[in-house]
Amino acid sequence: MSVEGVEYGWHLDKRVPIALILAIALQTGGALVWAGAASERLMTLEARSARTDEMVERTARLEEQGKAMRASLARIEAKLDRAVGR
């Protein structure tokens, strides 16, 4: 279907403009930079999570030590009360 040298319909052009190549290259570079930054943020969050896990464990140990100290103090007070009450 040609009218005076003009083609109608779909066609593919084998020429690729430099602007398209640059745009795709910049988008690819931007995607790689974004992925690298996301990976760095993920590593930071994982390290923070590991430190938080350590702090939770340490806090639980301190709570248990506090309970043991209170029990020991109660026994000492009971012994003192018995010793003074004699």
Question: pLDDT tens-digit profile of 40-78?
Answer: 999 999 999 999 999 999 999 999 999 999 999 999 999
Q: Write out the residue range of the structural domain in which residue 23 sits.
A: 17-84
Residue 2 lies in a domain: no
Residue 61 lies in a domain: yes
Residue 5 lies in a domain: no
Q: How far apart are the C-alpha atoms of 12 and 1, rounded to whole Å?
A: 16
The total domain count for the chain is 1
- pTM greater than the 0.75 cutoff: no
Residue 59 lies in a domain: yes
Amino acid (1-letter code) at residue 85: G
Any alpha helices (H) in 1-86, and if so which ranges? 18-84
Q: How far apart are the C-alpha atoms of 67 and 85, rounded to whole Å?
A: 27
Residue 12 lies in a domain: no
Name the one residue in this structure whose structure tokens are 């248990």.
Answer: 64
